[in-house]
Structures are given as C-alpha cells and as structure tokens.
A = this chain, B = another copy of it.
Amino acid sequence: MRKPTIQDVARRAGVGVGTVSRVLNNHAAVKGATRELVLQAIADLDYTPNPHARRIAGGKSYTISVLLPVVTTEFYVRLLDGLESAFQEARYDVAIFPLLDRSRLERYLGSHTLAYQADGLVMVTYNLTQLFNERRLRNQQPTVLVDAYAEGVDCAFMDNVTGGRLAGEYAARLPGELYAIWVETELDQLFTTRVFEERRAGFRAALQGSGRTLRAEFTASFDALAARNVATALLDEAQLPCTVFASADLLAGALLDEARGRGLTPGEDVRVIGFDDQPWAAARGLTTLHQPVEQMGHEAAQLLLSRLGGYRGPARARRFEPHLIVRDTA
C-alpha cells in the first residue's frame, strides 16, 4: 500500500491540496470546520508529510543536522539530550552526522551532502567556520556552534576558564602542596578542542591571584590507561598531604583508585578536585565542577530556532558557567 500523499488527504476531506497545506503549516486563514475536516482525513489516512518534498518545494524539512564528534564521552550524550529535547518541542527532527575522523570531515565539507540540506546546522566542538571561509564553502543555512566559539556565528559554549578559576580559588584555600593533572591537547590542528587549555589557564590565573604555586604538574592523554599511569606517577612523587586538581573526572577517578590502593584517605591525605561531574562522581564523593551541558544544548537549539523563525539580527554568544560542587574528596 502506497504512502498517502497530500492529494489523498485533500480528496478524502473534499478540499483542495492548498487547504491541506495551510492546515499543515498553521496558516491562520482556514475556517475551523474545514480544518477539522482536514485533520480528520489526516488521522484516518495516518498521513505524514514527506520532508523531502517539503524541502524541495521551498518549505522546511523540519530536520536539523548535527555535526558531532564521535567520542565515547558522557558530555556528548548530555549535549545531544539538550539539543534533541529543545528541537523536539519545536517539532524538528535531529539527524546526526558523525565526524569519526578528519577524512570524514573533508568529505562532508567537500560535497554538499544531506547534512547541508537540512533547515539548520549545529556544529559541535570543532569550529569549522574557518574552513567554510577558507574554502569559500557557501554555507547558506542557519548555523549554530556549540561547545565552540567564533565571531559572527551564534554560539553556545562552556566557560572553561571560569571553571578552572573556581577550582583554583578553592584549591588555593586548602592546606598542603598543590598539584595538577592536565589533559594533553591533540596535535591535529582542526580536531583540536581548547577546553583543556582553558581550564588550565583559569586555574593558573586563580593560583597566581592568591599567591600560591603548583609544586608539580602532570600531563596525560584522555584515556583510562594514561589516567592510571599519571595517577601512579603523581602519588609516587607527591608530598602529602596535598591537593590535586585533575582537569577531568576521568583523571580524578583514576587518582582516587590509586590513592585508595595505597591506603590513603581522599579528602585528608590527598584532596582531589575533578572536572565534569560524571554520573559516578556523586556516589564517590568527588568534589568537581558541574557543567550545565543540557542547558547549553537547549539554548543552542533555541538560537537556531530563532534564526529559523526569521531572526536576522547580529550573532549571539551564550556563555555557560560551570559551578563547583564540594563533596568529600576536597
């Protein structure tokens, strides 16, 4: 059985296709009774408009493309949740185009694939706008950047500098030596995220402001194994009691494990401040920075929706601030 079309609906309701279209798009000029008639026919036939046809006819397809790095991180799940729920309210669908690696990105940019045929585009973490400029890729459609910032584009991003500063101010008031573990920035120019250097900058600025200094700094890449190794290295050399700012909960968790393995008491021998407030952080009593990620996603969606709704004003930047959650470990 063929999918019902707008023609079928019109025929069944005994009206013209134009009227059906008006009902579909909430064009006020439809009489109440007629509207009911059409709605009934739509229900009877279980009709849904074809988004491709809508799009091609110059209307909206009610689809948003999200260019998303595929990384196994809670962060993106939460972000997606925020984006999705906001778009859903506005009856938009969200399609994700995975950015698995650089070559995939090139492909998306090189061709004007379906990702660029949606009503709007959400670009996450990676700031591709510079590429759009360089390559003269005419990205006509409304775009919003999330977890990234650029001039002239609507953005919603986390203020990681403030997050780092909050950690630094808190740590500065704690007794004992100060240590920090930073996350290594990736080499690839394009696929670089600046969040970790921002956290670092904020933390150092806070220490400086309070006249304290780090006894030593450590660096690790963002994976479980590196986290374990750096935890071991740090505790091998640390002078207790001490306070450690682990610039990601992944790092903090490994440090807690290692400390426990050595019979040390977190919050006394080793104070630990994480960053992210992962789902397990509360249960382990980790003092850490919570980021309003869902809100950021929600707001990003609103920015884009306002553009789709006709907003033509200047680019807006929405900054979100992490806040410190003090628990047992520091």
| A positions within 8 Å CB-CB of B | 1, 3, 48, 50-53, 55-56, 61, 63, 65, 70-74, 76-77, 80-81, 84, 88, 93-98, 100, 104, 107, 111-115, 117, 138, 140, 223-225, 228, 253, 257, 260-261, 279-280, 283-284
**Is there contact, CB below 8 Å, between A280 and B117?**
no
Q: Does the CB pair B93–A113 fall under 8 Å?
A: yes
Complex: how many Å from CA A51 to CA B51? 12
Copies, count? 2
Q: Hey, which chain B residues are within 8 Å of A114, CB to CB?
A: 51-52, 61, 63, 93, 95
Provide the residues of chain B in CB contact with A283, threshold 8 Å: 225
Residues of B within 8 A of A94 (CB): 97-98
A224 to B282, CA, bound (A): 13
In the complex, the answer to whether A98 meets B72 with C-beta atoms within 8 Å is no
In the complex, residue of chain B having the shortest beta-carbon distance to the beta carbon of A229 = B283
Is A284 in contact with B225, judged by CB distance below 8 angstroms?
yes
Given A98-B96, A117-B51, A117-B52, A77 contacting B72 (CB threshold 8 A)? yes
In the bound complex, CA of A73 to CA of B74 (Å): 10
| Other contacts beyond A1-B138, A96-B96, A261-B261: 7, CB < 8 A | A52-B52, A52-B55, A52-B117, A77-B100, A93-B97, A95-B114, A96-B97
Q: How far is the CA of A74 from the CA of B77 in the complex (A)?
A: 14
Distance in angstroms between the alpha carbons of A80 and B101 in the assembled complex? 12
Q: Could you tell me the distance between the alpha carbons of A121 and B53 in the complex, rounded to whole angstroms?
A: 20
